[in-house]
Structure 1
Amino acid sequence: MSNEAVQEAEASGHFAFFSSQNSKFNYTFNKIREVKSYRIGELFAAYRDILWDDGRHKYNVSSFIGEIDEILLGERFSTFDQNTLDNLIGTLRQRGNSNATINRKMAALSKLLRKAHKMGDIHSLPEFRRQKERAGRIRFLERDEEARLFAAIKSRSEDAYRLSVFLVDTGCRLGEALGLIWNDIQEHRVSFWITKSGRSRTIPMTERVKDVIKLPPNTEGRRPKGPFTKLTQAQYRAIWNEAKTEVGLGADEQVVPHILRHTCASRLVQGGIDIRRVQMWLGHQTLSMTMRYAHLATNDLDGCVVVLEKPRGDGSSSHSAEASAFASPLTTPTSAPSSRKEQGPEPAKAPKKRSKGK
C-alpha cells in the first residue's frame, strides 16, 4: 500500500468501497478518504511523547515496541486484526517470555493502537486478553539486610542513602520520590502527585523519613527543587548495584530498588495493617495488586491451630471453649445469663409455715 497523504473530494451520496493493488479508498457520505498504512515504529514515534512521560517506563516501552516492530518485520498496516495479534503473542512465548512479560508488552501495544485508532490512523482493533499470570514469590529485605545495604549506600552517597530510607518507609516508587518538590511535603505528611496509576495520594511520614528529607546543612549553591532532585534514576541504580555487590547480594536479581516498595508493604501486612489500608498506602489501582502480600498476614490464622490441635486428656470443655471463640455468632448458642441483673428479679418466695409443736 502507498503512504501518500489523505485526500478528500466530493463523491456520490452512497457508501461504497474501492481497492486497488496500491491503495484503498473509503467513499462515505460525499467524501473520499484514502486509508494510509503505518509501521508500529512510525505510530510510536508519532505518539510516544503524548502517551508516556519521560523516564524508565518510557524507555521500557520503547524497547517493547521495537521488539514488536521487529517481529512484524516492519510490515505496514491500516488494520490490526486478531490473527496478527495472536501470532505476535505466540512468537513472544516461543522466545521465552512469561505471561507477565507478555502482558506488559501487550499493554504498551494496546495503548498505542487505541490512540492511533482514535486519531483515525488505523481502522480496526483486536481484542486484547490478559494472559493468566502465576503468583511468584515476593522478595523483601530483612532488617539486617537493610542495615548492611544502606550502610554500603551511605558510604558512597549521602543523597542516595536518604533516598533509600525514604523509599523503604513510604513504599513509594523511585520515580515518585525523585519527582517530589518541597510543596509536596507539608508538616507530617507527603503527597505524591506524579504516580503510575495517575491517582494522587497523601501518607504520613515516619520519624526517620522526616529526618532524611532535610537537606544536609552544608548544601552548596541554590536550594534544589525537591529533596531528591539532585539524583537521577541512572545514578541511584548505579550506586545501588555497587552497594549490593559489596554486601554479598550481587547475585540476587530481585534485589533492585523496587524491593524497597515490597519491603514496606510486607512490613505493613506483617504488622497487622489490613489489606485495604495497605492498598491506599501504596496507591494500588486495584485490591488484587495488594493481595500479593495477603499471605504474610499469618497472625490472623494462628487461632485456627487451637481448633485443629488434638485435645490432651479429656480437655473437652476447654477445647470447646477455645473453639467457640472462632464460631459464627449466628450459630453459637447463647450462654446462660451470668448475673441476676441480666435474668431479671427473682419471684418472691412464699413464707415458711411454722410447725404447731414449736
Structure 2
Amino acid sequence: MMTNEAIQEGYPSDHFAVFSSHNSKIKYTFDKIREVKSHRVGDLFSAYRDILWDDGRHKYNVSSFIGEIDEILLGERFSAFDQSTLDNLIGTLRQRGNSNATINRKMAALSKLLRKAYKMGDIHSLPEFRRQKERAGRIRFLERDEEARLFAAIRSRSEDAYRLSVFLVDSGCRLGEALGLIWNDIQENRVSFWITKSGRSRTIPMTERVKEVIKLPPTEGRRPKGPFTKLTQAQYRAIWNDAKAEVGLGADDQVVPHILRHTCASRLVQGGIDIRRVQMWLGHQTLSMTMRYAHLATNDLDGCVTVLETPRGCGAANGVESSAFSSPLTTPSASKPARKSKSEAVKAPGKGSKAN
C-alpha cells in the first residue's frame, strides 16, 4: 500500500495514481485530458470543408446548407450538439417549407461535419440523426421528339455542348463525370468513369453515336485533356437554359441537364433491361435508387391481364390451370413420364436372366 507521504510527494510519478494489492497493480493516466472549447457551426465548416468535400457544385450546395443552419442557430456556440437542438432545427426548416428530401440533404451535410468535429475532439456528444421519410416523386424524362428539338437548339449554340448532350443521354452518366473524362478513360469502345459520386469506378460500352461525338472535330492547336474539357458546368448549364427556353420548355423546372440521366435509365428499363443491369450501368450505390424506374417495366406485367381476363376453369388441362407465369417447379412437364406404380416398377426378366 502507498503511504500518505508517498501520495503527497507524487510518488512514483505526477502522472500516475497507483493501486496495489496482493494480486494486482493498476495505473491510471491523467496526461491525456483535454479541454473542449465551444464552436459555431460556421467555424467547424471553415475548419473541415476542404477535408470533407471536394471542390465543385456539391461543395457549393453544402456551403449554402451550413450557412442556413448557422443562421437558424443564431451563431450559437456549443461544445455538445444535443437532440433538442437538432429537433428544433428540423422543425424550423419544415416551417420554412423545406420538403423531407431537402431536409435530409441538409442534415446529411450537418451530420458529416459534426461527426468529423466529434472525432477531432471539438465537441463531446452527437445527436441521433434520423432520415425523414421521402415521397417517391414523379421522374421526368425526355421523349424522343423533345430530345431532337432540344439538342438541335443546343447544337445551334455550341457544337461542344451538343456532343456532351448526346454523350450524357446515351451513357446516363452525371455531368461532372463526363466533364472529368480524359482520353485514357476511353479504351476499346468502352468508357470508364473513375471520379464518381459514390466513389466507385465503373466501365460501360459505348453506343455508335457516342463513339462519334467523342471524336473532336479537326482544329488547330493543342489537343485538350479530354473530350469535353473545353466546357465547364456553368457554361453548359447556361447554353442548356437558353436552348430549353427556345423550344418551349423554359417553364418546366425538371428539364435540367440531370434529366438526361433519367432519360437513359427510363429507356433501358422500358427496353427490357433488368434492374440489376441498369443499376450497374448508372453506377447506383444501392438498388433502391434504381428501383425508382422499376414502374416503367410494364411489359413484365402484361401476362397478368391474360390471367385476369381468362375465366376460372377455362383452359385447364387435367385439373391444372394454365398460367402465363407457370413455374417449372409447379407445372408438370408434358415430356416427363407418369410415375409407375409399385407393381409396374418390378423389373421384368430380360434376356439371359434365370427363371425362378
TM-score exceeds 0.5: yes
User: Counterpart of 1:99?
Assistant: 100
Mapped pair 1:183 → 2:177: no
Moved more, 303-312 or 195-204: 303-312
| Structure 1 residue 220 displacement after superposition | 3.3
Matched with 1:230 is 230
* Structure 2 partner of 1:355: none
- Structure 2 alignment gaps of length 5 or more: 1-12, 18-27, 339-347, 349-356
Give the Å deviation of 1:315.
5.3
Asked whether the equivalents of residues 306 and 323 of structure 1 are also in contact (C-alpha less than 8 Å), the reply is: no
Aligned to 1:293: 293
Identity of aligned residues (%): 88
> Which residue does the alignment assign to 1:147?
148
> How far apart, in 2, do the equivalents of 1:154 and 1:291 lie?
33
Task: Give structure 1 stretches of 5+ with no counterpart.
Answer: 1-9, 15-26, 340-346, 348-358
Partner of 1:36: 37
Length-normalised TM-score, structure 2: 0.84
Q: Give the paired residue count.
A: 317
**Aligned residue for 2:131?**
130
Q: 1:11 touches 1:30 (CA, 8 Å); kept in 2? A: no
SS in 2 for 1:33: coil
| Corresponding residue for residue 350 of structure 1 | none
User: Could you tell me whether the CA contact under 8 Å between 2:316 and 2:322 is conserved in 1?
Assistant: no
Counterpart contact for 1:306–1:322, Cα < 8 Å: no
Cα RMSD (Å): 2.4
Residue 264 of structure 2: aligned partner: 264
1:309-354 Cα deviation digits (max 9, x unpaired): 1459x95459x99833413333324446589xxxxxxx9xxxxxxx
1:324 corresponds in structure 2 to 323
Kindly provide the CA deviation profile for residues 13-58 of structure 1, in whole angstroms up to 9, marking residues without a partner as x: 57xxxxxxxxxxxx97234422111111111111111111111111
Kept after mapping to 1: 8 A contact 2:315/2:322? no
Distance of 1:240 and 1:322 partners within structure 2: 56
d(CA) in 1 for partners of 2:32 and 2:324?
Answer: 76
Query: d(CA) in 2 for partners of 1:151 and 1:334?
Result: 56
Which residue of the partner structure matches residue 343 of structure 1?
A: none
CA distance in 2: counterparts of 1:182 and 1:257, whole angstroms: 23
Distance apart, 1:281 and its partner CA: 0.5
CA distance in 1, matches of 2:44, 2:134: 29
In the superposition, relative to structure 1, how do residues 335 and 325 fare at CA in structure 2: closer, same or farther (>3 Å)? Answer: farther
Partner of 1:22: none
Distance 2:302 2:206 in 1: 31
Q: Specify the alignment match of 2:344 in structure 1.
A: none
State whether residues 324 and 332 of structure 1, in contact with CA within 8 Å, keep that contact through their aligned partners in structure 2: no
Task: State the distance in 2 between where 1:321 and 1:271 align.
Answer: 33
Distance 2:155 2:272 in 1: 31
* C-alpha distance 28-62 of structure 1, shift in aligned 2 (>3 A): farther
Instruction: State the secondary structure of the residue aligned to 2:157.
Output: coil
Letter paired with 1:75: E
Q: Is the 8 A contact 1:156 1:239 kept in 2?
A: yes
CA contact (8 A) 2:269 2:294 kept: yes
3-state SS in 2 of match to 1:103: helix
For residues 174 and 43 of structure 1, the distance between their equivalents in structure 2, rounded to whole angstroms, comes to 30
Counterparts in 2 of 1:152-163, with a 5 A limit? 152-163=153-164
Map of 1:62 onto structure 2 = 63
- Normalising to structure 1: TM-score of the pair? 0.83
Amino acid at match of 1:206: T
Q: Confirm or deny: 8 A CA contact 1:307 1:322 kept in the other structure.
A: no
Matched residues in 2 for 1:187 and 1:336: separation? Answer: 47
Separation (CA, whole Å) in 2 of partners of 1:142 and 1:28: 69
Post-superposition Cα deviations, 1:65-88, rounded to whole Å, max 9, x if no partner, equal: 100000111011111111111111
Tell me which residue corresponds to 1:243: 243
Q: 1:72–1:88: 8 Å Cα contact kept in structure 2?
A: yes
Q: Which residue of 2 aligns with 1:83?
A: 84
Runs of 4+ in 1 over 4 A off after TM superposition: 10-14, 336-339
Answer yes or no: is the 8 Å Cα contact 2:36–2:121 preserved in 1: no
Contact 1:188 1:210 in 2 (8 A): yes
Preserved contact between residue 185 and residue 192 of structure 2 (Cα < 8 Å) = yes
Letter in 2 for 1:228: F
Which residue of structure 2 lines up, in the alignment, with residue 277 of structure 1? Answer: 277
* Within-5 A mapping of 1:155-234: 155-217=156-218, 219-234=219-234
Report SS of the residue matched to 2:81: coil
Matched-pair contact (CA < 8 Å) for 2:104–2:132? yes
Once residues 60 and 29 of structure 2 are traced to their aligned partners in structure 1, the CA distance between those partners, rounded to angstroms, is 40
Contact in 1 for aligned 2:306/2:324 (Cα 8 Å): no
Asked if 1 retains the 8 angstrom alpha-carbon contact of 2:160 and 2:231, the reply is yes
Equivalent position SS for 1:202: strand
User: In structure 2, what is the Cα distance between the partners aligned to 1:39 and 1:337?
Assistant: 76
Structure 2 contact 111–129 (Cα < 8 Å) conserved: yes
- Mapped contact 2:172–2:262 kept (Cα < 8 A): yes
Q: Distance in 2 between matches of 1:59 and 1:176?
A: 17
Q: 1:109 aligned to 2:110?
A: yes
